[in-house]
């Protein structure tokens, strides 16, 4: 079970100034004057880690400093998000976060580990991805309708994977179960990379997960893609139907990834990140790699990012209430 003690205990460490360097001198140094760490709240191999590492070289070149990816998995991404919320507002510890870790999960915790509006600074959207429902090759389901029939015929016997409690993967699976009248067991992992191994081994019956995580395995024929979760079909998987096409009109679930700063991040530093991410995503070669990996490239302004955070926090809170989804 996700607990506040788990999150608070793991998030206690925060960045400190270099020995012998005063806070005043540190603050006045040109930004960035030393390497920057980017927290990722999930294990390597998932969508958050993938987009962070796709952007990493371009951001390092633009800033003239190394950008070190630090995977702090656990708590459905909230361990890293809480560490970010308690970080110094100096730009040397940033966060690549998701809609679940920064907008959906914290309000479901009792008490919340941080306030999703006042304890973090939305900086810039990195990208968005649809989710894709995949099953192992050993599954008897050759398509999505067959899977629904199989699950209905075996209530409580099938399981599904997610990267943690109340993540978008968990939420999408619960919403589908609610809409289709399914009963399946939830198997949460510390990141989607671990879930992939279980799917490949045939020990998980289905995962509704981020497209970049599973796209290489779909292309290689190691898993079977049954459906995607946006209203329209995904260009990278044009032959895979949507969940909505199978009798669930309006089903729409995606994951966004955002560069997030600690609270009170200076506007000048935030704008440096906005400019750097927009510049990186405007490069045709990098933009193509991002799209080939299954992402819809992000960009935009900090105001855009803040509005997206607020909108989706309200949207998913309403969905959770309407579907009476519980995360104990």
pLDDT single digits (tens) 207-257: 999 999 999 999 999 999 999 999 999 999 999 999 999 999 989 999 999
CA pair distance 274, 249, nearest whole angstrom:
36
CA pair distance 138, 119, nearest whole angstrom:
45
Whole-model pTM? 0.81
Give yes or no for a cis peptide into 233 (omega within 30° of 0). Answer: no
CA pair distance 89, 67, nearest whole angstrom:
17
Residue 163 confidence (pLDDT):
85
Quick one: average pLDDT of 290-310? 96
Residue 2 confidence (pLDDT):
52
Three-state SS for 203? coil
| More reliable by pLDDT, 73 or 23 | 73
Indicate whether 308 pLDDT > 60.
Answer: yes
Three-state secondary structure of 115-162: CCCCCCEEEEEEEEEEEEEEEECCCCCCCHHHHHHHHHHCCCCCEEEE
Which two tokens mark 200?
């490949």
CA pair distance 23, 16, nearest whole angstrom:
10
Q: Give the range with max mean pLDDT: 3-7, 14-18, 71-75.
A: 71-75
Rounded to 5 degrees, φ, ψ at 297 are -55, 145
Give the CA angle between residues 79, 112, 99 to the nearest 5°.
Answer: 60
Rounded to 5 degrees, φ, ψ at 208 are -110, 100
Rounded to 5 degrees, φ, ψ at 234 are -85, 130
* Beta strands 121-136 and 296-299, pairing class: antiparallel
Give start-end residues of each CATH 3.40.190.150 domain in the chain.
4-128+256-323
Centroid of chain to Cα 303: 20
Residue 136 confidence (pLDDT):
98
Extract the runs of DSSP E, i.e. beta strands, from the chain: 36-40, 67-71, 93-98, 121-136, 159-162, 185-188, 206-210, 223-228, 254-261, 296-299
Neighbours of 116 (CB within 10 A): 21
End-to-end distance of the chain based on CA atoms, in angstroms? 7
Which two tokens mark 110?
């009792």
CATH class, 130-246 region: alpha beta
CA pair distance 325, 83, nearest whole angstrom:
27
CA pair distance 62, 55, nearest whole angstrom:
11
What architecture does CATH give domain 4-128+256-323? 3-Layer(aba) Sandwich (3.40)
User: pLDDT-based confidence at 22, cuts 50/70/90?
Assistant: very low
- For the stretch 144-154, pLDDT in tens is 999 999 999 99
């Amino acid at each position: 079970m996700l607990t506040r003690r788990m999150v608070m205990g793991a998030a206690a460490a925060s960045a400190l100034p270099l020995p012998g360097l005063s806070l005043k001198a540190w603050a006045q140094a040109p930004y960035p004057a030393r390497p920057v760490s980017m927290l990722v709240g999930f294990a390597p191999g998932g969508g958050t880690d993938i987009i962070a590492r796709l952007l990493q070289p371009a951001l390092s070149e633009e800033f003239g400093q190394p950008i070190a990816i630090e995977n702090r998995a656990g708590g459905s991404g909230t361990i890293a998000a809480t560490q970010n919320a308690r970080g110094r507002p100096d730009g040397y510890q940033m966060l690549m976060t998701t809609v679940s870790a920064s907008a959906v999960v914290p309000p479901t915790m009792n008490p919340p580990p941080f306030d999703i509006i006042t304890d973090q600074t939305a900086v810039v959207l990195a990208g968005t991805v649809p989710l894709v429902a995949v099953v192992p090759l050993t599954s008897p389901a050759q398509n999505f309708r067959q899977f629904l029939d199989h699950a209905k015929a075996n209530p409580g016997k099938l399981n599904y994977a997610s990267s943690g409690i109340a993540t978008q993967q968990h939420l999408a699976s619960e919403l589908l179960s609610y809409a289709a009248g399914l009963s399946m067991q939830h198997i949460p992992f510390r990141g989607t990379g671990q879930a992939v191994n279980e799917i490949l081994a045939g020990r998980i019956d289905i995962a509704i997960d981020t497209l970049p995580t599973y796209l290489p395995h779909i292309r290689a024929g190691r898993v079977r893609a049954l459906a995607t979760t946006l209203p329209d079909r995904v260009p990278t998987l044009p032959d895979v139907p949507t969940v909505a096409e199978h009798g669930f009109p309006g089903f729409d679930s995606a994951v966004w990834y955002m560069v997030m700063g600690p609270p009170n991040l200076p506007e000048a530093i935030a704008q440096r990140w906005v400019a750097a991410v927009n510049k990186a995503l405007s490069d045709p070669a990098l933009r193509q790699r991002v799209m080939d990996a299954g992402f819809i490239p992000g960009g935009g302004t900090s105001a855009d990012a803040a509005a997206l955070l607020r909108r989706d926090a309200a949207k998913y809170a309403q969905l959770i209430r309407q579907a009476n989804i519980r995360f104990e």
